[in-house]
Chain A
Amino acid sequence: MTASTTHQQPSASALNPGFILKKAVISAAVALVLFSLMVGLRTEAGPSGQLIYWTRFGDLATMVAGVFFGSIAMELLRYWWGPVGTDRFVTPAMRSGLATAGRLVAPVLLVFTCLVPVIFYNQRYILDLGILVLTYVMLGWGLNVVVGLAGLLDLGYVAFYAVGAYSYALLATHFDLSFWVCLPLAGILAAMWGVLLGFPVLRLRGDYLAIVTLAFGEIIRLVIINWQSLTGGPNGVSGIPRPSLFGIPLTAGEDGLAARLGIEFSTTHRIVFLFYLILALALLTNWVTIRLRRLPIGRAWEALREDEVACRALGINTTTTKLTAFATGAMFGGFAGAFFATRQGFISPESFTFQESALVLAIVVLGGMGSQLGVALAALTMIGGFELFRGLDQYRMLVFGLAMVLIMIWRPRGIIGHRAPTIYLQQSQAISSDLVKEGHG
């Protein structure tokens, strides 16, 4: 399919063996110079401190040959596929094909997710991984409101996750409030912090906004570490109550769910319950976001991402629009945090480092900013895929990084880069990512 389109546009992309060979030789020469010292020569301190070294010309030859043939392969691929990032990748036929596939992917994925605890009932590892993936799907969907829809780059999203987690942990351990009472409270508290963060950063855009949100995330973490009397500092909060099924605890005791249903108690029940709990929370996030996109507030978020000045000219209060975006995103982060706390039973500031913010942001960017399905797929790829490479030991990070680079080359605007309109007269047409703005803060 792709080859035929390239043949229709000749000239520049004609096969040129001389050029390909020359490029491969140059690449190999550069690789030889670089690797001869790094790989070809191995030095180590000997037993008595003297320098011992040996050569690894075999490895060096393999690598240079790899670069040589890799370069040729790359050029041939480029010849067959045409340049990367051209419109060819989103020809109308492909776009409609993708749209059809996209419509199928979401329901299939949803049904499969619902069935995971049934299929993998005896595999605790898979269930735990599923819960982890769903947590990140939810966090990704929450951040998507801020970054994907409103176009506000937030590097401190983990702060709201932490606020939610600590809200539940402290309310539950100090006041014996149940999970279902604390969940909305955690969301409200996180949303409040979202507004608090929103106020100082209203005038900031782009890089400056990113820096302040990054600092905000760190401030929350440092406050948690240092406010020992309330949060327990680095020791964290332990003994956080497990969630109950509308008051029925999932324990082995007499009033536990298993005893009441007359079935044998198993710890898996709790895991399955947690799985469906986070699935429900994630789906709630998704449903609300989809609804909001079709409401004036959601359209205003997207308009804000496209052009803030035009928004103001149309009478949109950009201040409240930004604050609601921060608050909504933060609220979902707070829900996810409360879930995290009840699942772990123990939280400490170490769970809320910048690494988490970066990971969630990477999920949103990789998924395609603004796309709900894309974010879900990206969370699956980033969290699930990372586990997939566990067998590769020390090359795990390397392979993972390479995979991410390849995805971003292949789809520079994320797995699902196009934007679906929120309203249409005759027919909903996906909007090419070339037109959709990324937002400037």
Chain B
Amino acid sequence: MSGDTLLSVDRLTMRFGGIVAVNELSFTASHKKITALIGPNGAGKTTVFNCITGFYKPTAGAIRLTHDDIGDIALEKLNDFRISKLAKVARTFQNIRLFPGMTVLENLMVAQHNALMRASGLTLLGLIGAPSWRIAEKRAVDLAKTWLTRVALLDRADDAAGNLAYGDQRRLEIARAMCTEPVLLCLDEPAAGLNARESAALSELLLSIRDDHGTSILLIEHDMSVVMEISDHVVVMDYGVKIAEGTPQHVRDDPKVIAAYLGADEDEAIAVMESGS
């Protein structure tokens, strides 16, 4: 079933007053693939993300999620929290949004809220300490430990999330999103502010999420080394419209993309693109 469409965005338009942030954008993301959404600053990438994850209500257009386990869901009709709860779409934020005053482990427990809420019998079973709740809680801790191991933060589990280094916070946010057990993981610039070594580790983590866990990834990223290395499919946006789409190789050689990225100076653009590969 690889190659099937997981997410299809159809003529998505988002207006803020007179400003058209996204204009009739259509693209698809496939099952168990990494789809990258790139473009210069202000191209409307994060707006697309906010529409997909329900933080904005699109002015027009349709966003459809199709998955064997959860069926066919029109995301543009759902609220933000329902998209995570029902459609199993998780996201991270450009400016990291952890719960800084809670420990790393607590952050991951909050991510499993809906599953734990059911297990605790909407709090009542949990309040009396029913065995079924204890088992569920232990399982939740195990899931958290699994992800902490995968992002190499297990030894920091009892530290406050706000005390982690920047790169660790980025990885924790991904682990937290993965603890919701999503089918689609939306990452908003996960490599921003990371050094070369951390970026490489991130690429590895994202590939392992795709391959070992079968979670599809939608990625906004400026770090071309990450995009070119791990993406299966790249969508390029500029001024709210799609200007190119295809494999990383294909997009990299597209003159329209090069022009959009660095004005009309193609030589410089090519230099940047090549340095990334």
Residues of A near any B CB (own CB < 8 A): 288, 291-292, 295-297, 299-300, 302-303, 305-307, 309-318, 419, 421-429, 431-432, 435-437
Contacts and interface: CB of A to CB of B under 8 A. Distances in A.
Nearest to B154: A425
Interface in B109-134: 109-114, 116-117, 120, 123, 126-127
B84 A300 contact: no
B110 A437 contact: no
Contact of A292 (B100, B110, B127): B127
A311 B112 CA distance: 11
B126 A296 contact: yes
A423 B85 contact: no
Interface stretch (B31-39, B65-73, B90-98): B90-98
Contacts of A314: 81, 84, 90, 110-111, 113, 176-177, 180
Most chain B CB within 10 A, of A302, A305, A310, A427, is at: A310
A142 to B, nearest CB: 17
B162 interface: yes
A41 B232 CA distance: 86
B80 A313 contact: yes
A424 to B, nearest CB: 5
A111 B270 CA distance: 76
Given A313-B93, A317-B81, A431-B160, A296 B100 contact: no
Contact of A426 (B111, B126, B157): B157
B209 interface: no
Contacts of B274: none
A426 B180 contact: no
Nearest to A436: B101
A421 B90 contact: no
9 contacts: A307-B97, A311-B81, A313-B84, A314-B111, A314-B176, A315-B84, A316-B110, A428-B158, A435-B100
User: What is the size category of the interface that chain B forms with chain A?
Assistant: 35 or more
B126 A295 contact: yes
Contacts of B120: 295-297
B160 A299 contact: no
A414 B176 CA distance: 31
Contacts of B97: 307, 309-310, 313
B159 interface: yes
A291 B84 contact: no
Contacts of A305: 101
Contacts of A302: 99, 101-102, 106
A419 B126 contact: no
Per CB-CB distance, the 5 closest pairs between chain A and chain B, nearest first, are: A436-B101, A315-B84, A315-B85, A306-B99, A435-B162
Given A299-B110, A302-B102, 12 more contacts: A295-B123, A295-B127, A305-B101, A306-B101, A307-B98, A311-B81, A313-B84, A316-B110, A421-B102, A421-B103, A431-B160, A437-B100
Contacts of A309: 55, 93, 97
Nearest to A300: B113
A291 B160 contact: no
Given A306-B100, A431-B103, A421 B158 contact: yes
Contacts of A300: 110, 113
B80 A307 contact: no
A166 B123 CA distance: 29
Contacts of B141: 423, 425
B53 interface: yes
B208 interface: no
A312 B81 contact: yes
Most chain B CB within 10 A, of A307, A429, A437, is at: A307
A253 B251 CA distance: 94
B111 A291 contact: no
A78 to B, nearest CB: 28
Nearest to A287: B127
Contact of B113 (A296, A425, A428, A436): A296
Interface in B158-191: 158-160, 162-163, 176-177, 180
